Amino acid sequence: MKSQKKPASPGYRLYELLSSMRFAIGLLTILSIASVIGTVLKQNEPYPNYAFEFGQFWFKAFEYLGLYDVYHSAWFLTILAFLVISTTLCIVRNGPGFLRDMKGFREKAAEGSLKAMKHSRELAVSLDEAQAVALIQQRGMRYKRSQRDDGSIVLAAKKGSGSKLGYFFAHIAMVVICIGGLMDGNLPLKIGELTGSIVPETRELPQGQIPAQSRLGANNLSFRGSVTVVENKSADVIFMNSGKGYLVQELPFIVTLKKFHVDYYSNGMPKLFASDIVVTDKASGKETPATVKVNHPLIVDGVAIYQASFGDGGSPLELKAWNLAQPQSAASEIKGVSLNSQPLRVNGQDYQLEFGDLRVFNIENMGKREADGKTLQQRMHDVREVKQDTKNLKNVGPSITYKLRDSHGQAREFHHYMAPMEQEGALYQIAGVRSEVAQPFQYLRIPLDDELKIDSFMRLQAALKNPALYDEIARRTTAKAMQGAAISPAMEKQFGDSVKWILSRFGEGGFVALEKFLDDKVPADKRQAIAQTYIKILQGAVIDVMAVAQEKAGLKPWTQDEKHYRFLLDSLVTVSAFNDYSAPLYLELQGFDQVQSSGLQMTRSPGKNLVYLGSLMLVIGIILMFYVREVRLWLVLRAGSVRVAMSSNRHNRDLDEDFDKIVGALSPRAGEV
Amino acid sequence: MELLMQQPFYKRLNLGDWLFALFIAVVTGYTFSLYGSRMDIYEDLILLGSGAGIVALGWFWGNWRWFFPLAGAMSLLAIQLYDHNLARAGESFGLKYLLSSQSSFMWMCTLFFLATAVYWAGLLSRSALLNRIASGLTWAAAAFALAGLFTRWYESYLIAPDVGRIPVSNLYEVFILFCLITALMYLYYEAKFAARQLGAFVLLVISAAVGFILWYTFDRQAHTIQPLIPALQSWWMKIHVPANFVGYGAFALSAMLGVAQLLARRGILTDKLPKAEVIDEMMYKAISVGFLFFTIATILGAMWAADAWGGYWSWDPKETWALIVWLNYAAWLHVRLVKGWRGEPLAWWAVIGLLVTTFAFIGVNMFLSGLHSYGSL
């Protein structure tokens, strides 16, 4: 709009600024840039994460600017508010004119202004009014007739007024969408927090003990939060993150989780997450059973319930505890519940056993990247092939994590798999350990015996660490060596002592202990040879260790074959590695009774329909604005001549064509004046 | 496209239009007679809607009348050759070298590269013939792309019934969709504005996408067909993704037209390119179509998000960047329509717009984390 001539008051100038295009474009630009911040900086993380990432100074600075929740910060909402104001004022300012324009035909247009139009021509043809009206109507245009003082008749025609309507639709839509969004936003919460009537809770408390100032009533109009429900348990509140803490939102109903389902495709990718729930209305007691799936929420009482996550819900576990400090003692049974902790007394020491997640499915990517090490030709072939994804995802079966915390509060964390895992053709039980949460787990693999159990390994380990058996083992190993004429009779005693010494050294500290001895006591140039000898003796002796262990347990001796020999060699590695396991116990997961939990997200968003309405208006508005062309046509009928003038809201080739057509339609009858 | 024409539109339909409609109606009816007994009411409506949509597109754009049946026939032939057996992909000559989805896509890549080269030769030598050949190559590439997508859809069901899904669900597939849509939109405007010289520029952006597809295929083996994770098992995907790519395709097209316009205005290739004003108008048309579809796609995305993530707007990085793209082009259109800007500044803006759009399309998946992570590299 052109500025007015009269001196403008400050109020009017503000109105002009706010409703102006440049202000709106400026806002759009600022809004875009501000929006980027929230996509670069992860939003709504727990505050300690930010403090850790940025350091105290920047953490405080960013917190002050509200960068951890940009889209709900006061300044961002202010920009949005200005956008709404600007759009509204734009409608107020331009609307009346547009409306007049839509209604009017401009039949009073002066001859001069018609003549000045870019598409305007005076044709020397006499056209009677009926012909002119036919010409107009043929084109689907509406018209208005007026007569000038000089007697000439003006037929002012137009079509495509919807284009202007599009302006109203699109701009009102923006306001409607913003209002809808505002209704669903957390503005009331923010105000509540500012005035102190709502205080986020920062402590971890049982739900029932959370004070009223952190609770929101079930009549709250709009909310979005989540809750974890364990199978066969119920929830009647949800939790919402709020700055440094959280708030509790009461629900008008109780949700009970009956069962949680997970399904997988044959390649190991997840196929279905679903919760069978029953929703019981608090007031009427009416029960609604339903299954909530990803993409298929349940809507009850205006609250939509979504499948958001899942996990372990605290499953009863059966474990076998192998005493590592006293390997001779028998294994015992322990019962526990995942996600729970219990005291445990081992060899006179008190520990706290803290179970973590029981994970029944562990989908691991077992394959290497396919393209590695292939020739171009193979790749060309692969590329033409139509096949399913070969990531080689595999379910490696259940696993449990637990921490064993001693009386000083020191803990080590363990990650044990239950099912046998195949590696290089043999089966193992895999167990991981770490002393700090930040570290990755160090895994050891325990070879499994013919019954797919770790019992034989444990027996072997116990025997290796039992000095009382060394004499018998050394005797057998020596005898075997004599038989094979590997040593002379004179060496018998010395060899037997060596076997015993190696066994005790290995039993105490594994390969590391032997290596340390070599480093300390043996000249560097001889280490290699002696190490070889030690390993040879150990590899020979381990057969006898197993035989003695079997006899002692009253079991049949093993047949000597390659598979068993590999078992024994693997066992040596694992026994050695167990020295870094540093735990009094090895807990073997024997069985469980899975109890799952489901993370349900619940929202009430009354503004949703308003947003959808606004969206629909926006689309209609855009279509009208861009695809309906407003065209105006004036025919001024005079005796012996006609003035044809056309205008459009867009000056483009279409108007040129239209004008030429109309002139063409009239031209056969006349030449130009 | 003008909604209000000189005459009511049905009066302007000619025999060809009606024959095409009849043909599609017969095909739709035949499809219904084959599968109708297993379809629910929604699927009936979808079939009907698809038929109507194809007819409408054919009425609006003459070339569609042969293009769609051709691509359809190619994929039907592929299905015939498969004969319910995926292993036939390696046995049947026709599938192995021509019509299996992967072969189709490789042909598409080759033809797009060829078309780019020929368009450039045509532009530099001012040869109308070369430009026509390049157009033909682009049409062929687009036919292979569309047929390949249809065939891939069928192949996914051959792998396992529960794996079957529409091929618009990962980055590899949407890149092919991007090439297809950008090429088709360009071919439409090329004919409408008689501006074949611009293919040299538009095909550059398609070739870049093809380069990405090839790298993605050879290095990352991305062409393997994966089943849908639960978050993607939704009807919304089938409309949200294509609508989005009409938007992306149009914005990419407009940016390349912007480049051509800038060159033309600076005396580079000016004598070989169409008039700058014509390019300017094409650019505006492309952006207005793109803006409309991008708006629809974003709204559809919001409605899907309301079903899947528990809120129609979560300020997820992808959503936020979609908003930024939308605001960018909203501003572009405002200054053109209200302020009457033309020419160089808008051309520059369209080119920069492509950078923003590309970041929203790929950059977000590569650099930012969020709920759209299944589109990651």
pLDDT digits (tens, 9 = 90+) for A316-332: 999 999 998 888 888 89
Average pLDDT over chain A, rounded to whole?
87
Residues of B in contact with A625 (CB under 8 A): 337
Structure confidence by residue, pLDDT tens digits, A268-301: 788 999 999 999 999 999 999 999 999 999 999 8
Query: Searching chain A, which residue's CA lies closest to the CA of residue B326?
Result: A32
- Mean pLDDT on A236-260: 91
- Mean pLDDT on A118-128: 88
- Mean pLDDT on A302-325: 92
Give the nearest partner residue to A627 out of B1, B101, B311, using CB atoms: B1
B218 and A28 in contact by Cβ < 8 A? no
- B289 or A365, higher pLDDT: B289
Is the pLDDT at B169 greater than 60, yes or no?
A: yes
Token pair in block for residue B204: 């550059």
Give the nearest partner residue to A628 out of B4, B8, B292, using CB atoms: B4
Give the nearest partner residue to B224 out of A31, A388, A622, using CB atoms: A388
Q: Is the dihedral of CA B98, B102, B108, B113 positive or negative?
A: negative
How many angstroms separate the CA of residue B29 from the nearest CA in chain A?
Answer: 31
The pLDDT, as a whole number, for residue B365 is 82
The pLDDT, as a whole number, for residue B3 is 37
Structure confidence by residue, pLDDT tens digits, B37-93: 999 999 999 999 999 999 999 999 999 999 999 999 999 999 999 999 999 988 999
A622 and B295 in contact by Cβ < 8 A? yes
Q: What percent of chain A has pLDDT over 70?
A: 94
The pLDDT, as a whole number, for residue A669 is 52
**CB distance from A632 to chain B under 8 Å?**
no
| Integer Cα distance of A548 and A470 in angstroms | 10
Query: Searching chain B, which residue's CA lies closest to the CA of residue A71?
Result: B315
| Integer Cα distance of B266 and A621 in angstroms | 37
How many angstroms separate the CA of residue B219 from the nearest CA in chain A?
Answer: 6
Is the pLDDT at B335 greater than 70, yes or no?
A: yes
The pLDDT, as a whole number, for residue B132 is 96
Residues of B in contact with A653 (CB under 8 A): 281
How many angstroms separate the CA of residue B354 from the nearest CA in chain A?
Answer: 15
Structure confidence by residue, pLDDT tens digits, B177-213: 999 999 999 999 999 999 999 999 999 999 999 999 9
| Integer Cα distance of B266 and B260 in angstroms | 10
The pLDDT, as a whole number, for residue B158 is 94
The pLDDT, as a whole number, for residue B1 is 33
Number of H helices, E strands in chain A: 16, 26
**CB distance from A31 to chain B under 8 Å?**
yes
Is the pLDDT at A126 greater than 60, yes or no?
A: yes
Strand-pair partners of A447: A428
The pLDDT, as a whole number, for residue A7 is 67
The pLDDT, as a whole number, for residue B12 is 78
Cα torsion at B205, B209, B210, B213 (round to 10°)? Answer: 170
List C-alpha distances in Å: B198 to A664, B83, B287.
Answer: 32, 42, 16
ipTM: 0.93
CA A286 to chain centroid, in Å, comes to 35
Q: Residue A370: pLDDT band by 50, 70, 90 thresholds? A: very low
Cα torsion at A538, A541, A543, A547 (round to 10°)? Answer: -140
Q: What percent of chain A has pLDDT over 90?
A: 42
Residues of B in contact with A66 (CB under 8 A): none
A28 and B331 in contact by Cβ < 8 A? yes
How many angstroms separate the CA of residue B229 from the nearest CA in chain A?
Answer: 6
Give the nearest partner residue to A39 out of B8, B100, B317, using CB atoms: B317
B155 and A386 in contact by Cβ < 8 A? yes
| Integer Cα distance of A323 and A328 in angstroms | 8
- Mean pLDDT on B170-180: 94
The pLDDT, as a whole number, for residue A374 is 64
Nearest CA among A248, A227, A237 for reference residue A309: A227
Q: B85, B91, B97, B224: best mutation site toward chain A, by most A Cβ within 10 Å?
A: B224
**CB distance from A390 to chain B under 8 Å?**
yes
Structure confidence by residue, pLDDT tens digits, B104-152: 999 999 999 999 999 999 999 999 999 999 999 999 999 999 999 999 9
Number of CB pairs, chain A paired with chain B, less than 8 A apart: 179
Residues of B in contact with A267 (CB under 8 A): 226-227
Structure confidence by residue, pLDDT tens digits, B257-280: 999 999 999 988 888 999 999 999
| Integer Cα distance of A230 and A486 in angstroms | 65
Residues of A in contact with B90 (CB under 8 A): 385
The pLDDT, as a whole number, for residue A391 is 57
- Backbone dihedral angles phi then psi of residue A188, each to the nearest 5 degrees: -60, -35
Neighbours of A407 (CB within 10 A): 9
The pLDDT, as a whole number, for residue A21 is 84
Nearest CA among B205, B186, B182, B208 for reference residue B197: B186
Residues of A in contact with B312 (CB under 8 A): 605, 608, 611
Give B43's DSSP letter: H
